[in-house]
Amino acid sequence: MTENTTLVGSKVSGRRRRPKAFDGVRICADMGCETRLSRYNRNGTCYMHSPIVFPRVRGRDVPVIDV
Ligand SMILES: [Zn+2]
């Protein structure tokens, strides 16, 4: 008698997670701006009025030395 060591996979079950989305039409929070926001935009403002964030990829911040 041989031991059955065959690994049997199973289908991925369960519900798939939906991407986080906001329902309805939202408009930029900036005064006078009527840009419709994407459903996936987590900010309250459009891209034009969102603060720009530059992600630091690598390295460290070099301190600025005043001469
Ligand atoms: Zn805007």
The residue extents of the domains of the chain are 19-46
What contacts 65, CB < 8 A, 6 or more positions away? none
- Ligand 1 mean position, distance from CA 11 (Å): 45
Q: How far apart are CA 25 and CA 29, in angstroms?
A: 12
The model's pLDDT over 6-56, given as tens digits with 9 standing for 90+, comes to: 888 888 777 777 777 777 888 999 999 999 988 888 888 998 898 877 777
Beta pairing partners, 27: 36
Tell me, in angstroms, the distance from the centre of ligand 1 to residue 19's CA: 23
Q: Ligand 1 centre from 6 Cα, in Å?
A: 58
Global pTM reads 0.44
Residues 6+ positions from 21 with CB-CB distance below 8 Å: 39, 40
